[in-house]
A and B are shown apart, each in its own frame.
Chain A
Amino acid sequence: MPRARLLAEAADHLRASAAEIAATGVDPAAAEEQAVVRFGAAALLARRFAQSVVTASVRMALLWAATAWACYAVAAGLFVLAAPSWLHDFPQGAPSMLGLQVAAVALAVSGVRVFSFREQPLIDDLRLRLVAKGVAIATAAVLAAAVLELALALTRPAPAPWRDAAPIIAAYAIGVAATVVAGLAAVAAAARAGHAELAPAVATLVDDVGAGAPRLRPLALWLTSRPLLACTAVAGLAFAATTAVGVAGNGLAGAGATGALEAAAVVIGYLTLGRALGLRAPRHAVAD
């Protein structure tokens, strides 16, 4: 939004307002003062504009991040279903699976927050910051996964017949390109949300879940009030599901190891990113 246009509109408005007040017989200096009072405090108006701009920026960044996630997920799906057998050796593919999961959680939490404001022109300030962080985490996770995959691919011990994997490489390149664009949008949104002078607000994930799916509100309340138990339960489920899926191909020991890795990733992800995503209480709240 051009600053010059905004200032020109405000100046024109103030001139017209002062002229109208002066026409009623008020002293011109007093008329100007009254016009300024009617217009409103500059700080308040600047905050309204900032909130409006940041809301649009954060919504756009979330859309880009979701698109990038979907593109990269298609590439990962192609890898799982159609990669040549020589490419299917651990750890190739593992960073993508972990990165996509971290991004999915960050996008889901951010999506729930934005969805609860779907019919409102502005999103409150704390949610804006949390969503901006969530989008940044999601794009960073996918981008980190893509870089690790590339590093693994380029350092393979044996020469690889890459021509056999052309569709997967093309899908990977599209996914990376979309993620880079999403990353730029996320950086812009995070910078705007970080620098804008926004008003304080209270945001709870329970309220946001309740706004989108009222029946899930009690479950969200139960889970968020027992964060360690919830984290342990999710890690346990992740361990069980990953082990069950892998046992046929890798045997119980191999599948169990992969399951343990998955469960550890859930716990580490929660401990390192939980606060930034608003899933854990802020540090000062714990101290209080």
Chain B
Amino acid sequence: MSTPEIDIRIPTILRPYTGGEKSVQASGATLSAVIEDLERRFPGMGERLLEDGKLRRFVNVYLNDEDVRFIGSLDAVISSGDSLTILPAVAGGS
């Protein structure tokens, strides 16, 4: 049984890791596994998404239309045909 390969939308700020590509593929049965695969294909990407083994607070990851924080975060289950979108949070303070 092979794990599904899915499309991942990459934000501008992470495109240096993907050679400028705004859409790439990676595979894994969970979000955690997909991120590991992303790191294998695009070294350095993993560290931009994870800190201390968890998703970074100000990086938003969406599985289809949902923020993964509400559907298990790194344990979110990935199915064939799913798509992931990564968007850095837009935030700041005084």
User: Are A and B genuine complex partners?
Assistant: no
